[in-house]
Amino acid sequence: MLPPWLFRHNDLIGTIASAAHIDKKKLTNTLNYLHFKGDHLYVLLKHPRYEEGILVKAHPEPCLGDEFICHWDRAYSVYKLEQYDFQYLVLPHEQSIILVPTRMFVTNSDGMTMRLPEQSFVISQRQAPRFPCQGVKAELWQNGFQAEGVLMDFGPHAFHIRVQADSPSSFQWFNLDAPAALHLSDGKEVFYSGHCNCMYQKQDGRSREIILTPTDDQIQRFKAKALRNPRRQSSSPLHAVFEHPFTKRQIQREIFDISTAGFSISDKSEEVVLIPGMIIPDMTITYAGVLKIHCKAQVIYRKGGDDQIRFGLVILDMDLTNYKHLNRLLNNLHSADTGMSNEVNLDALWEFFFDTDFIYPPKYKVIRSFKDHFRDTYRRLYEEAPEIAHHFTYQINGRIYGHISMLRAYERTWMVHHHAARPTGGKSIGLAVLKQLIYSLVDLYRFPSANLDYVIAYYRPENEFPARFFGGFAEDHNNPQHCSLDLFTCLTYPTRETADKLPLRWSLRECSSSDLWEFEQFYKNHSGGLFWSILTGKNRRNRPSIEEAFAGCGFVRRWQTFALTYLDQPKAFIIAEQSDAGINLSNLLNGFKVFVADPELRPDILFSAIAELIGNRSTESFSLLISPEDYARKTGIDYEKKQYLLWITDMQYANAYVEYLRRKLRIKFDYGG
């Protein structure tokens, strides 16, 4: 427990003679406003023996007449404050303080009662604003020295902390001339963490009061990007509204410009409340008083002169619902591409899919048996499930000319699919929607809530467009730990097929830790790509798993990994995946991925294992993606066969992908870094 603060500002008392005044009515309203907000005030007391002044926190009662009552903060219960001599009430008031004298007062161990004077004094000697803080924990480190305490107040360029050395540290270890690391939080959320210079310190019993100034007016939050989304200005007012993490007061500022990465605001120099490095856990972006977008933000720079200060803020996180709203907002601001939209009429979407041959006869043959359920699945997916699905369309007068969508496929992985386009006016609409997706991804992957460490796409090797845009990058980059390609043979396995039980000494089991290790070694040596990383990537702590996220939207997504063994030795690894039928039109997330470790494995034994996993499921058929891709041909499997490439990119290397598109394919992005 920190002791009462020693009062070191007697020079302020000396300015009373020339100070401005407020009358009793104004003082009463100010006291009631403090009580209404639940704020505290301070009482300046003098030690009964010594000339030392102390400043203690007190909590006001409503003031309904001439008499005023306040209660000591519980932190001072052991200090016998009733024995001290009253000097002044001290009230923070904007960027000044109000000193309230009195001649008639009564004190006890609980608090004090006083009669309000006819006049009180308003005093300010600040050249820069200073704001008192509430409930902010301060931690100070410097080369092995550590101290803990509270943030007392802050200004545009400085923090005022009061700390005690953390045993076994000693203030003798603290070097005033060396930078120190300051960490500010409420014990759960971090509000600031950065290096500061010490400008001043004074001893107060066992504690120290220290003034610290940040070393930089700008921080580098993320590495530079090859592609930056444009900052847009709005003719309708955009505002940033938030509870200040230090003062707990609500702040509202007009937004100057904005993108999916961040925004900037301006402040008058006498109203500055932000410091570079400060984190705001819950920021609300409001548009025309109607749309509200929530995010977590951090101040990354300050620029400006004497009158106006510009602050830049980066968005650290937002969920996909809010990201969708932000994209919609930016697309509606002037200079955006008016054809691009993430709103879609489902009847127009079905017409588009059939007209572009995206739903071709063999694919429709699979869909027709559950078409009503299929239509309802897509209605819910496009209208009610932003946390697991994302899409862009290019429309003219309600008719769709281009479409691309993403679906969360694994814990930290999203799949690009359903990419199709039809011509209009000589414009490459397929490229336009793909570029819009890239614009979205370059900011989205930085948000922890997006669960976007990897992006995958399946495509047929003979399909030239994805072969250039996806496969070309994998070949050009030539590092399968950054971007990989896995080739599978795809079989449509009918559930009506009967299969014998597994022969003696063969078994099928869910993978143990040792089986998973064997699977990992096989995949690394066979492919060396990223599939193992996306399959085993763990969800970040305190966030819903993919199964929970899908279930929350009324969908199914899960998988299990099995080992097909002979004499306890794995011969194949089978990933049994389950999702809603048709959620991916090629059904690549609702079937089986088979990695054959022993090329001598007989197909009939493999199909017996698949039949055992299918059980009594009512689906007419399942997709089997088999690797190595030549296994089906070499073993004479006579089911209809086609091949799929699985493209996987680690989003840490998004810059390299954008540079590939610019350099090799001569793709012009409208905005660049």
Please give the average per-residue pLDDT across 240-259, as a whole number.
92
Q: Where are the alpha helices (DSSP H) in 488-530?
A: 513-526
- Structural domain contains residue 226: no
Question: Residue 414 belongs to a domain with what CATH number?
Answer: 3.40.630.30
Average pLDDT over residues 33-44: 88
Q: What is the CA radius of gyration of the chain?
A: 33
Cα gap 555→580, rounded to integer Å? 7
Domain boundary among 293, 328, 363: 328
How sure is the predictor about 439, in pLDDT bands with cuts at 50, 70 and 90? confident
Judgement on whether residues 115 and 157 belong to the same structural domain of the protein: no
Side chain identity at residue 433, one-letter code: V
Enter the tokens of residue 152: 């007392």
Q: Is 458 within the bounds of a domain?
A: no
Q: Do 391 and 373 fall within a single domain?
A: yes
Mean pLDDT of the chain: 87
Instruction: Tell whether 29 and 59 lie within a shared domain.
Output: yes
Among residues 101, 123, 145, the one where a domain terminates is: 123
* Highest-scoring range by mean pLDDT, 40-44, 129-133, 143-147, 480-484: 480-484
Residue 239's pLDDT is 92
- Predicted confidence at residue 1, as pLDDT, reads 45
User: Cα torsion at 662, 666, 667, 671 (round to 10°)?
Assistant: 60
| pLDDT tens profile 580-635 | 988 888 889 999 999 999 999 999 999 999 999 988 776 777 889 999 999 999 99
Question: For 251-272, how does the pLDDT look when each residue is reduced to its tens digit (9 = 90+)?
Answer: 999 998 898 889 999 888 777 8
Q: What local confidence, expressed as pLDDT, does residue 639 receive? A: 81
Residue 296 lies in a domain: yes
SS3 137: strand
How many Cβ atoms from other residues are within 10 Å of residue 524's Cβ? Answer: 12
pLDDT in tens, 311-323: 999 999 999 889 9
Q: How far apart are CA 207 and CA 229, in angstroms?
A: 48
Q: 626 and 500, same structural domain?
A: yes
Structural tokens at position 19: 């100070």
Contact between 578 and 590 (Cβ < 8 Å): yes
What is the CB-side half-sphere exposure of residue 384 using CA atoms within 13 A?
11
Site of tokens 């080739």: 487
**For the chain, percent of residues with pLDDT exceeding 70:** 90
Whether residue 474 lies inside any domain: the answer is no
- 466 lies in a domain? no
Predicted confidence (pLDDT) at residue 168 exceeds the cutoff of 50: yes
Tell me whether residue 475 is in a domain.
Answer: no
Name which residue leads in pLDDT, 92 or 250.
250
> Using CA atoms, how far apart are residues 36 and 64, in angstroms rounded to an integer?
13
pLDDT at 306 over 60: yes
Amino acid at 434: L
| Cα gap 378→385, rounded to integer Å | 10
Q: Are residues 570 and 624 in the same domain?
A: yes
CATH number assigned to the domain comprising residue 93: 2.30.110
Confidence band of 673 (pLDDT split at 50, 70, 90): very low
Question: What is the per-residue pLDDT for 642?
Answer: 92
Is 295 within 8 Å of 301 (Cβ atoms)? no
- Is residue 244 in a domain? yes
Taking phi over 0 as left and psi of -120 to 50 as alpha, with beta for the rest, 231 belongs to beta
Q: Are residues 504 and 634 in the same domain?
A: yes
Judge whether 98 and 91 are in contact, CB under 8 Å.
yes
Q: Cβ(283)–Cβ(242) under 8 Å?
A: yes
Q: How far apart are CA 590 and CA 415, in angstroms?
A: 14
Q: How many domains does the chain have?
A: 5
pLDDT reported for residue 50: 74
Domain membership of residue 321 (yes or no) is: yes
Band of residue 672 on the pLDDT scale cut at 50, 70, 90: very low
Residues 607 and 512 in one domain: yes
- Residue 199 is part of a domain; what is its CATH number? 2.40.10.220
- The answer on pLDDT for 14 being more than 60 is no
Residues 62-118 pLDDT 10s: 998 888 999 988 888 777 888 888 888 888 776 678 888 876 678 888 888 989 988
Same domain, 91 and 175: no
What's the pLDDT tens digit per position in 619-634? 777 889 999 999 999 9
- First-last CA distance in the chain: 51
Q: Which of 77, 103, 123 is the last residue of a domain?
A: 123
CB atoms within 10 A of CB 472: 15
Distance, CA of 603 to CA of 637 (rounded, Å)? 7
pLDDT of residue 132: 81
Both 430 and 526 in one domain: the answer is no
Of residues 74 and 579, more confidence is placed in: 579
* pLDDT tens string 500-511: 899 999 999 999
Cα separation of 102 and 27, whole Å?
A: 13
Please give the full DSSP string across 294-333, using - where no structure is assigned: EEEEEEEEEEE-SSEEEEEEEEEE--HHHHHHHHHHHHHS
| CA 26-31-36 angle, 5° bins | 120
Question: 200 and 273: one domain?
Answer: no
Peptide bond before 361: cis, by omega within 30 degrees of 0? no
How far apart are alpha carbons 132 and 72 in whole angstroms? 18
Q: Are residues 107 and 136 in the same domain?
A: no
Give the domain extent around 610: 483-651
8 CB neighbour count, 10 Å cutoff: 12
Q: Residue 537 belongs to a domain with what CATH number?
A: 3.40.630
Claim to verify: residue 494 and residue 596 sit in the same structural domain: yes
Instruction: Give residue 257's identity as a one-letter amino acid code.
Output: D
